[in-house]
Structure 1
Amino acid sequence: MHFGILGETRAWRDDGAEVPLGGPARRALLALLLVHSGQVVSVDRLTEEIESGTALSAHALQSQVSRLRSALGPVVTIERAGAGYRIVVADDDVDARRFERLAAEGQAVLRDGDTGRAVALLREALELWRGPAALADLAESETARAAAVRLEELRLGALEDRIEGELRLGEHRAAVPELRELVGRHPLRERLAGLLMRALYAEGGQAEALVVFEKTRQHLADELGADPSAELVALHRELLSADPSPSLAAPPAQLTSFVGRAEEVAEVADLLRVARLVTLIGPGGVGKTRLSVEVTEVVADDVCFVELAPVRDGAGLPRALLGALGLRENGLHMEGGPQTPVDRLIAALSDRVLLIVLDNCEHVVEETAALAARLLATCPRLRVLATSREPLGIIGENVWQVRPLDGDAAVRLFTDRAGAARRGFAADPRLVRRICAALDDLPLAIELAAARLRTLDVHDLAERLDDRLGVAARGNRTADERHRTLRSVVAWSWDLLSEPEQRAARRFTVFTGGATAEAAQRVCGTDGETLEALVDKSLLEVARGRYRMLETIRAYGAERLDEAGERESARRAHAGRFLDLVRTADPYLRRAEQLEWLPILAAEHDNLLAALRWAVEAPRTATALELLASASTYLWIRGVSAAVAPYAVTLLDAIGATPPDGLGEEYATCVLLAASDRPTWQRHRATAQSALAASWPGTRAGRYPAALLLWMMRNAIEADPQGAFALVSSQRDCPEPWARATARYVSGFDPLSGGDIAAAERTFGAAVEGFRSLGDRWGTALALDVLAGLAGGRGDRAQAIALTDEALALTGQLGALEDSADLLVNRGDHLDDPAAARADYAKAADLARRAGSSTYLAAALRGLGDIALLEGALDEAERLYVEALERIDPHWVKSLGNRVRTLAGLGRVAEERGEHSAARGRYREAAEAAGPPGALLLLGLPEALVEAVSKR
């Protein structure tokens, strides 16, 4: 039997039939017993509260109990116990108890990140309410009023949790009206105001969201004489200023009109609204990519467009997606650990509403299928639109066949493109139809043919095209569709080029990801006029200052490059051009011009990798070493050094233990870039340190100053930390100013380890000034972070926060999500306001998740664990600490402080529980992780924590 007290008291049998309960007194009796189900309710309370103003006699009460037993039947027990009565029912048989269970489960699941399930549980809980929580049959009862207040508060909390989940799922628009009504009825409830602000902001209503904050602030001041909470103030600050966020790769800009597929765009868009994976399949040149671009224009989700054509093999897929998402692979302090690019993708996409377009999957179709399946399984709000010559072949895939244009659309496309090539173009539609039919109505073939009308009459075009039909018809029937239908079109278009145009086109195929005009002219050995001619003839396209070549044409041109015997010379010219680029850019990356040069190098990232791959495989050892070393500063600042690690490992395997003559510093930098491979690092570390020391004797400058800083950070907790520190510190009088600033930074740790805080601060301050005088934001932020830790350690929290805020502004300019997360955790550590600290830790966790950074997420979880411990929530603190400990990588110096804090936090949890033996064990682990007692000071740990760890 089931009972309802959320509204009028009612009872139903298991078959759904309602049980007649009788008059008000009997309903009130049942309501009182159900409010306290499983507990004894005294006779005195029952007789006083069943009817307002008239107490029942004991005999009358006994009579009502008897009649209620008869109404409910033998399936429900109402037993006499001591001086009262008790009803024995399962908790889930009472709607209020079931509501409480479902609401609590929904809240817990929401906290754990399973948003879809949480929303379903919370909706189920709220649907149990049939009216206000007034317990109508006990309207005047003191018990009823207390129960009503408690249940109403739980209902509001469940409503807030449900709306929180819906906002995470992207249901902002539907939530706004309900939130407006709720905020109107509960103007002092800050969480509702915050949810409304978030929903309005997500719908583009930033100004409205700010108005909500101001009204809430005024209500709090007028009614309670209080200010808004730290969480609401933090949300207000976020609305006023944009946070650093990854820039999604947008679909390529289109230079021509879209002809003939309007209905397909609408149908594919509708399919994507109900399906999470749609694959557009069809032959090469049929228009799959263009259709996918047009679909993204009508889909409401954010869109990330991933071009897979440059990806050489399946191993590069996750990094290509990371790059398209705008996510760096490392942070300022060089996060390490075993986390894979796929793990980072899952962490970044787990709770994000996004449509990812995977374009040109056919050459890596198996690996793409595996990656798409895993992402879709672990990221419930993600959708994927793929283009390929064949289906991915995974469960849940919706395959959409992209077919050639119908006859009328093909004629319209040809006429449109011909009009662009020749002003006033007009031709017999039947002739145009014959041309299009000969081209199989494939859009790319039609566009290439129409472009020829710049130099040919339409009748000449038809004749030449007719001459080519036999070639296509007699092609290899076992070849893929692209080569059976488009090879003849591309070959014919190619044959119409002049020799200088053909040479430029085939040499252009060595570029990956396009090229600037200057790079194309140098590598192709051509001039701007020839490049423009190739654009006019649709062999190249130009957008946003870069030339690009369609992949079909690029594949054909690459074959022609091999036939001409020019691949080696073109690759050599390509590598030489990008070696010159990184050599030129490198010194500017440590100056104020770094914001100008970083985007330039980022645009050429794929070309840099292609040049490096050729140099390693050729092999061209000297070129490969110089490419790696010259690009190292860019790779480290942008956090993408993991992309070159495999090449660095391969190169070191080929070189062996002896650096090439004159390239010792390049060799050492290569070892640093390969350091994530522990065996390689162990084999080459000692030789690399000797080579680096020889290159930087202190009296003259080496070539790659950033290697000094990274060498110290990599070796700070390795076998010879003192040697690494001494090497960098020896550059105090080096003629290279960035190296001098780095030496000051490293030298500051010497007085710090001896307890001379003032001298350490002076030295780190000099490092800040050194980096700042050069305009380098990276080094400045690094040194400011240490100064902030020292200020916090001596109790000057205001100064620590000010310095951290300054560093955060710099990392924001660099677009460093991970570095911003790290600094937010540090600021949270300095704050004495637990609510504000929690907001910083939570924001850091969000940034770390968006960046897919396990180490910085661990730091944020550790901070949240500290807050939970402070509030006495020992179980929650332990859960957060354990999760943080699982994510921390012990091999990186930046992880050391958080590891010590986490272990000490677990010790404090055990101590609070009275588990003194376990506490001592955790403190011992923390002390061993920290190393010598002086190392605790180097970590900038609070005095209380140092004292706790020292208990070991």
Structure 2
Amino acid sequence: MQFGILGPLLVRSPDGDPLTIGGPRPRALLALLLIDAGRMVSVERLIDGQYGDRPPAEAANAIQAQISRLRRSLPAGLIEFHGAGYRLAVSPDDVDAHRFERLSREGRRLLVAGRFPGAASSLREALDLWRGPALADVADAPFAGPQALRLEELRLSAMEDLMEAELGLPEGSPVGALQDLVAAHPLRERPRGLLMRALEAAGRPSEALAVFDETRRLLADELGTDPSPELADLHLAILRADRHQVRRVAPPAQLNRLVGREEELARLAALRGARLVTLVGPGGIGKTRLAVETATRHDREACFVDLSLVEGTGQVAGAVLAALGLRESALRGLPDPTERLLAALAEQDLLLVLDNCEHVLSEVAVLARRLLAASPGLTVIATSREPLGITGEHLVPLAPLPTDPAVKLFAERAASVRQGFAVGPGNLDAVLRICAALDGVPLAIELAAARTRTFGVEEIATRLAEDDRFRLLSRGDRTAPTRHQTLHAVVEWSWSLLDAEEQALARRFSVFAGGASLEAVERVCGPDSAEPLADLVDKSLVETDGERYHMLDTIRLFCAERLGEAGEEGRLRAAHAAWFLEFAYRADGHLYSAEQLQWLALLSADNANLQAALRWSVEHDRATAARLLGALAMYWWLSGRRGEATEHAQRLLDAIGPESGEEYALVVLHAVPDTGSPHWKQARTALHALDRPMRCRFGPALWGMLAGPPEPGEPVSEHVMGPDPWSRALDRLSGALLALLGGGVAGAERELESMLAEFGALGERWGMTQGLDLLGLIASWRGEWGRAMGLWQEGVRLLEELGALEELADVLIRRAEARWRAGDLRAARADCERAEDLARRLGRPELMASIRLRQGEIARHEGDLAEASRHLDAALAASGIDLLKAHGARSYVLTALGRLAEASGDAGEAARRHAEAVDTAVRSPLATDLACAAEGLAGRWLLDGAAAEDGDPAERAALLLGVGVALRGMAVAGDRDVARVAAAATEVLGPDGFAAAFSKGASMSRDDALAVLGRGR
């Protein structure tokens, strides 16, 4: 909820709807609680605030009555009683006054730190919260006056802070606002000092001096005092200002504000004592703009030298002389420009900005060294695509803009060419895609924003996605340097500064998607690549973090065009695919050990390259593509990227046949979701025919998880598992899982304990999570809740480490079911909500069947049958999506729908749903699925005295409960539905009669159980 007291009292619901709070006393009481939001307010304070020094005799009762009225207007539980007082259980940030104070403090902190853009932003946001005088409609309450005065004083201070912050901005000239503030508060000195500074900055010093004279007269007349020492010092400084200096080229005034470089500005402010600072980065990254912004914020006079117009050698010193405004006659007798500069700057206190140094780098470096050595008062800020490379140089590399500043920059620049443009829900996605496609490069974003005058943002995003960026961004500021008027020209300028060896490596490097390690560059581009690669880093064509090398996508696309022109693309693509196949095999060997996380990270870093290699191989080298699918199978599964293989596998499917054996089976696993398709039948045959272990060690695990357990009588190859320790542990896991799902709980548990120890000895997390999950399930069936939750918690931790989000969702769903049985509905609901979020992020709608099932069961047991029906109907629809587990998922949902019909008293619907559940579960090879359906059917016999064909309904119910135990291998602790049916049957049969019928069912074989279920329907 949101509350407002900066104006009339305002209360809004979480949906944004206004709530009415009736009566002056309750409104005042709510305002009083809001002033201390989230904290307990004593009854005594409430009485004082409402009635002042003369409270009525029954003031405490009156306060209690007002609280009661408030509670009827507000959501339940919002006002808490704590013995001696009341607390409004909201966050202070939900109240505009507290939010205002927080933002004002943050603005003041940023102002003191010299971070004017951030300060101005925070202060504007704070002041925008005001809707009128504070506490306007409860002003008669005794507490309101002092609080309103306090808040109004804070508001005035924030306004003054904002004016000072705006004075620090390059475009800041708040003269008009300050004149209004001075008129409204004529005796406050701070606004008058700010107005004097603003007038001085605007080139109106005489008006600034007039403001001081007016202030001095007013203070003398009204207060009998003189201006403060600070105001007097400012007056003296304006009087002494020297306006007869040589006319130097000042940093150019900017037409718009700098966006998104707060961190770099802070770093430059911290380097204010450094004498040589070089801003480095690729073309269009904003080096010049940042240098200008820094110079305008500096407390020294600055001179700006644009070296982009310098051609040839020996002209840099002359360009600096011209920018300094020094005529030759001023330094007669010193013909050498450098000597003239040394003489001119020897005693100067100056900030010299040398812009665009990359094409005259050596000459600039020599000149800067000499000038800095001879002129102690000189500071140099240079901009270049590579460092000057001299002692004492401080580098400030400029990276692309992060997402939020990039979007903000696009929005501001687009609004300047298309009136009314704003980024909102309808176009945010397109703007995000534009900024991502342009690598967050400010110039490219500004060029794209300029095109909103002609195109919509969706059209721009689409064209950029089609790599049409150079043609699309071919119009820019006509007054800008030629190399900045189009995106192509920006990159071409950098390309022209490379020598032949650097150009060759740059175009070859373009085959890498998402960067590369030095080893990869040397293997793909040539063994002598290290030296020119370092040169490309120096020249800002390639970035590095010390481990990997990366090229901005805009630069990479330009270089890729040059690669095609050189006729090298086919050879480089083949070398790229060959290297990443080798890398994938090498990494796969480490995924079965304690080094798993390290190698998953290495593979993830090269995921874009692996995708590019696979994409090329599917078209040009299908044998390599098939091998890549196998080598990456475990990586894709563990990192939740299995979907990334689908499109490649589907394209490969038509080009590879069953005769390929293992390769064909792996392609089918990734390409075909329907396990009943002819491709799956052929894949089964191919795998059963193998007379050797699968080369892909993860292949048997993948097959088991996706294909499910073998059908009765289905032949199974005994050779697919390898002899290594991991494969032996996997074989044991497979046997234990089949035993568990077939009702052999005790034997499965022993195998799982041994298997867990084997995977643990290897340090392999995925295998450990399988054992932990299944052991947790068994412990929960026994009602060993502490042990079960401990096992699952460890499993969840390992899955989170791996990033195996699909399996994490599965485990959360199973844990939610156990928590529901243990009676912890809040924790069960939280697990469901997290699993639901994962299912959406992963694009796994089939998981929703199990999630909605759990949510529906929770709602039913809480008595909300309508909510249960909504969830279970959704679960039934989703259960048809999961083609791999349709029988099991669907039978559980049908059983839940049958129980819901029982709760609603609809005997016919209950009978139909339970019959459908049994029919569906019979087709599942898992005894556990059938056990659940049998227990569900048991409840149907006790509904409305349903008649059995042979025997008493209660006896039939007890028998079916026993059948469930026979099929599963044990009873499940905490199952409230089973307990309800058992209690009802016992009441009819008596303890002995129930025990006899139950024991008969519990001792049945699967065939006998199936016969009973057939009659039971």
Q: Aligned partners of 1:858 and 1:920: how far apart in 2?
A: 22
Partner of 2:515: 514
Alpha-carbon distance change, 125 to 583 in structure 1, aligned in 2, over 3 angstroms: farther
1:120 deviation in Å?
2.4
2:447 aligned with 1:480: no
Partner of 2:602: 600
Contact 1:407–1:433 at 8 Å: present in 2 too?
A: no
Alpha-carbon distance change, 928 to 742 in structure 1, aligned in 2, over 3 angstroms: farther
Select 2:681's aligned residue among 686, 690, 704. 686
1:512 deviation in Å?
0.9
TM-score for the superposition, normalised by structure 1 = 0.53
1:582 deviation in Å?
0.8
Alpha-carbon distance change, 722 to 683 in structure 1, aligned in 2, over 3 angstroms: same
Partner of 1:852: 841
2:781 aligned with 1:801: no
Q: Which moved more, 1:705-714 or 1:738-747?
A: 738-747
Alpha-carbon distance change, 747 to 846 in structure 1, aligned in 2, over 3 angstroms: closer
What does 1:781-930 align with in structure 2 at a 5 Å threshold? 781-831=769-819, 836-849=824-837, 852-853=841-842, 854-891=845-882, 893=884, 898-930=889-921
1:553-582 CA distance string (max 9 Å, x none): 322211221121111111111111211111
1:229-276 CA distance string (max 9 Å, x none): xxxxxxxxxxxxxxxxxxxxxxxxxxxxxxxxx99999999999999x
2:48 aligned with 1:120: no
Partner of 2:729: 741
Q: Report SS of the residue matched to 1:911.
A: helix
Q: Which runs of 5+ in 1 are unaligned?
A: 1-98, 107-114, 161-178, 204-261, 276-286, 299-388, 390-400, 435-442, 463-475
Q: Report SS of the residue matched to 1:547.
A: strand
1:662-718 CA distance string (max 9 Å, x none): x53222212111123x49x824222322333344x4xx432112121121222228x
Alpha-carbon distance change, 798 to 923 in structure 1, aligned in 2, over 3 angstroms: farther
1:816 deviation in Å?
3.8
Q: Aligned partners of 2:362 and 2:785: how far apart in 1?
A: 71
1:801 deviation in Å?
2.8
Partner of 1:703: 695
Contact 1:451–1:537 at 8 Å: present in 2 too?
A: no
Partner of 2:504: 503
Select 1:580's aligned residue among 554, 559, 582. 582
1:594 deviation in Å?
0.8
What does 1:328-347 align with in structure 2 at a 5 Å threshold? none
Select 1:552's aligned residue among 551, 554, 578. 554
Partner of 2:635: 634
Percent of aligned pairs sharing the same letter: 33
Alpha-carbon distance change, 597 to 567 in structure 1, aligned in 2, over 3 angstroms: same
Contact 2:693–2:721 at 8 Å: present in 1 too?
A: no
Alpha-carbon distance change, 415 to 895 in structure 1, aligned in 2, over 3 angstroms: farther
Partner of 2:716: 727
Select the structure with the greater relative contact order (CA < 8 A; seq sep ≥ 6).
Answer: 1
Alpha-carbon distance change, 884 to 481 in structure 1, aligned in 2, over 3 angstroms: same
Partner of 1:331: none
Q: Aligned partners of 1:814 and 1:519: how far apart in 2?
A: 25
Partner of 2:458: none
Q: Report SS of the residue matched to 1:639.
A: coil
Q: Aligned partners of 2:564 and 2:26: how far apart in 1?
A: 75
What does 1:64-143 align with in structure 2 at a 5 Å threshold? 117=15, 119-120=16-17, 130=27
1:650 deviation in Å?
0.7
Contact 2:26–2:69 at 8 Å: present in 1 too?
A: no
Q: Aligned partners of 1:445 and 1:763: how far apart in 2?
A: 71
Partner of 1:667: 664
The aligned amino acid for 1:572 is A
1:908-951 CA distance string (max 9 Å, x none): 12101210111122222322332358734268859855745866
1:586 deviation in Å?
0.7
Alpha-carbon distance change, 821 to 556 in structure 1, aligned in 2, over 3 angstroms: closer
Contact 2:835–2:851 at 8 Å: present in 1 too?
A: no
The aligned amino acid for 1:905 is A
Contact 2:780–2:818 at 8 Å: present in 1 too?
A: yes
Alpha-carbon distance change, 764 to 447 in structure 1, aligned in 2, over 3 angstroms: farther
Partner of 1:76: none
Alignment size in residue pairs:
599
Select 1:778's aligned residue among 747, 758, 766. 766
1:820 deviation in Å?
3.5
Q: Aligned partners of 2:878 and 2:263: how far apart in 1?
A: 36
Partner of 1:566: 568
Q: Aligned partners of 1:430 and 1:638: how far apart in 2?
A: 60
The aligned amino acid for 2:663 is E
What does 1:305-316 align with in structure 2 at a 5 Å threshold? none
Contact 1:868–1:876 at 8 Å: present in 2 too?
A: yes
Q: Which has the larger radius of gyration?
A: 2
Q: Aligned partners of 1:702 and 1:639: how far apart in 2?
A: 22
Q: Aligned partners of 1:264 and 1:930: how far apart in 2?
A: 65
Q: Aligned partners of 1:762 and 1:477: how far apart in 2?
A: 67
Partner of 1:589: 591
Q: Aligned partners of 2:623 and 2:24: how far apart in 1?
A: 71
Partner of 1:609: 611
Partner of 1:758: 746
Q: Aligned partners of 1:521 and 1:839: how far apart in 2?
A: 53
Contact 2:892–2:929 at 8 Å: present in 1 too?
A: no
Q: Report SS of the residue matched to 2:544.
A: strand
Contact 1:890–1:896 at 8 Å: present in 2 too?
A: no
Q: Report SS of the residue matched to 2:516.
A: coil
The aligned amino acid for 1:727 is V
The aligned amino acid for 1:805 is Q
Q: Which moved more, 1:446-455 or 1:755-764?
A: 446-455
Q: Aligned partners of 1:941 and 1:799: how far apart in 2?
A: 23
Q: Aligned partners of 1:929 and 1:297: how far apart in 2?
A: 64
Q: Aligned partners of 1:694 and 1:447: how far apart in 2?
A: 69
1:635 deviation in Å?
0.5
TM-score for the superposition, normalised by structure 2 = 0.50
The aligned amino acid for 1:755 is G
Contact 2:543–2:549 at 8 Å: present in 1 too?
A: yes
Q: Which runs of 5+ in 2 are unaligned?
A: 1-9, 31-46, 48-56, 100-114, 129-253, 266-283, 296-301, 326-352, 369-381, 384-469, 477-482, 941-959, 961-1015
Q: Aligned partners of 2:84 and 2:932: how far apart in 1?
A: 43
Q: Report SS of the residue matched to 1:608.
A: helix
Partner of 1:540: 542
Contact 1:881–1:906 at 8 Å: present in 2 too?
A: yes
Alpha-carbon distance change, 535 to 447 in structure 1, aligned in 2, over 3 angstroms: farther
Q: Report SS of the residue matched to 1:802.
A: helix
1:608 deviation in Å?
0.7
Q: Which moved more, 1:402-411 or 1:528-537?
A: 402-411
Q: Aligned partners of 1:296 and 1:706: how far apart in 2?
A: 46
1:504-539 CA distance string (max 9 Å, x none): 111001111111122122222133222111111222
Partner of 1:527: 529
RMSD: 5.4
Q: Report SS of the residue matched to 1:590.
A: coil
Partner of 2:198: none
Partner of 2:707: 715
1:888 deviation in Å?
3.9
Q: Aligned partners of 2:677 and 2:23: how far apart in 1?
A: 60
The aligned amino acid for 1:576 is A
